Amino acid sequence: MTAQPMPPEPADAFLPGTVTLVGAGPGDPELLTLKAVRAIGAATVLLVDDLVNDAVLVHAAPGARIVHVGKRGGCKSTPQAFIEKLMVMAAREGEVVVRLKGGDPFVFGRGGEEVEHLHSQGITVQVVNGITAGLGGLTALGVPLTHREHAHGVVFVTGHAKPGDSGTDWPALAATVRDARLTLVIYMGVSGAAHIQQQLLTGLPASTPLAIIQHATLPHQRHAVSTLGDLVATLAREQLGSPAVIVVGDVVLGIAAAARPRIATRSA
Ligand code: SAH
């Protein structure tokens, strides 16, 4: 009889007095990592962000305190400073604190700011990756972010700048995406779509393929395939809104192919 290989001992523990930022993925609860499940199960306090599917909370221990801190959860958006204060307070009270965030904590999730704040308060913090919406969304349509014939790389960019920040230099980005043959994935781009479209058109042709994916990986996922020149018109016509990712580039051409029904050939 051959011995079963033993799974390695987890290198990290989720201890009282520490905080773990956990990526809950884009929506489908089966896209959680094993480490995320272990962290959720160890938590005594869970701070649950916007866009986290509550279905992942089945992994929480009975008796764990669950606090929704996102605006889509029904309450008004909880200010970031208050969330940071809550994390510090709970950690100092000796709780095992898990902060559940949509997608990946380090992709437009303010994870970096939260880690800096917790460090400044002397709190031990670790981060568990999740599948980011820009990756999960395209995969849900059967299309890769990179492809040897279509895209040499990928850029994740936000369409929403911090107040007072001049934001993304879209014309420079358009030129780079065009010259380096990159896929462009825009998060939080719906409300600023008119500006983004107009600015990207300074460097990319209106015929550049584009897809919009809303509620990616969830049962109510919807998407549209269009072109850069038609972005705003498509959003209006298809009534697509937030949360959505906008994917620009030739990889999108694969969506139509992937969506085509396969022809089954059966030999008699
Ligand atoms: N940390 C997250 C991103 C947070 S910013 C991640 O890694 O995915 C919020 C933006 O993410 C939304 O405005 C939208 O652009 C995108 N997003 C998050 N979940 C999504 C989903 N299920 N479908 C489409 N876009 C999503």
How many angstroms does the Cα of residue 53 sit away from the middle of ligand 1? Answer: 12
pTM: 0.91
Domain with CATH 3.30.950.10 in the chain: 133-265
Can 162 be counted among the known catalytic residues? no
Q: Which of 12, 71, 85, 89 is catalytic?
A: 71
Domain with CATH 3.40.1010.10 in the chain: 18-128
By C-alpha distance, which of 11, 15, 27 is closest to 101? 27
- Which DSSP string corresponds to 143-154? --S-BTTTBSEE
Contact (Cβ atoms closer than 8 angstroms) between residue 136 and residue 30: no
CA–CA separation, 138 and 216 (whole Å): 8
Residue 268 pLDDT exceeds 70:
no
Can 87 be counted among the known catalytic residues? no
Does any ligand 1 atom lie closer than 6 A to the CB of residue 188?
Answer: yes
CA–CA separation, 88 and 43 (whole Å): 15
Instruction: Give the mean model confidence (pLDDT) for residues 106-128.
Output: 95
Say what the pLDDT of residue 74 is: 47
By C-alpha distance, which of 166, 132, 157, 168 is closest to 249? 157
Instruction: Give the mean model confidence (pLDDT) for residues 85-113.
Output: 96
What is the identity of the amino acid at 71? K
**Tokens, residue 91:** 């950690």
Q: For residue 109, which atom of ligand 1 is closest to its CA? A: 1
Can 71 be counted among the known catalytic residues? yes
For 122-175, what is each residue's pLDDT tens digit? 999 999 999 999 999 999 998 899 998 889 999 999 998 777 787 899 999 999
Extract the runs of DSSP E, i.e. beta strands, from 32-80.
45-48, 65-68
Q: For residue 131, which atom of ligand 1 is closest to its CA? A: 7
How many angstroms does the Cα of residue 13 sit away from the middle of ligand 1? Answer: 28
Say what the pLDDT of residue 72 is: 53
By C-alpha distance, which of 20, 13, 41, 37 is closest to 98? 20
Sign of CA dihedral 121, 123, 124, 127: negative
Say what the pLDDT of residue 77 is: 64
Phi (first) and psi of residue 72, to 5 degrees: -75, -10
CATH number of the structural domain 133-265: 3.30.950.10
CA–CA separation, 110 and 99 (whole Å): 12
Say what the pLDDT of residue 10 is: 62
CA–CA separation, 21 and 69 (whole Å): 14
Phi (first) and psi of residue 204, to 5 degrees: -125, 145
Does any ligand 1 atom lie closer than 6 A to the CB of residue 103?
Answer: yes
By C-alpha distance, which of 104, 52, 87, 95 is closest to 73? 52
As a whole number, the mean pLDDT across the chain is 90
Looking up tokens 């959680």 gives 32
Extract the runs of DSSP E, i.e. beta strands, from 82-198.
97-101, 125-128, 153-158, 182-187
Say what the pLDDT of residue 102 is: 97
Q: From residue 38, how far is each of 12, 57, 59 by CA, in Å? A: 10, 12, 8
Does any ligand 1 atom lie closer than 6 A to the CB of residue 27?
Answer: yes
CA–CA separation, 185 and 169 (whole Å): 15
Pick the CATH number of 18-128 from 3.20.20.210, 2.160.20.10, 3.40.1010.10, 3.30.1300.10: 3.40.1010.10
Q: Which of 49, 87, 101, 104 is catalytic?
A: 49
Say what the pLDDT of residue 166 is: 79
Q: For residue 216, which atom of ligand 1 is closest to its CA? A: 23
By C-alpha distance, which of 67, 190, 73 is closest to 133? 190
Probe target for ligand 1 pocket from 22, 187, 220, 240, with the most ligand atoms within 8 Å of CB: 187
By C-alpha distance, which of 127, 14, 130, 135 is closest to 64? 14
How many angstroms does the Cα of residue 141 sit away from the middle of ligand 1? Answer: 16
Does any ligand 1 atom lie closer than 6 A to the CB of residue 254?
Answer: no
**Tokens, residue 132:** 């980011």
By C-alpha distance, which of 9, 7, 32, 35 is closest to 127? 35
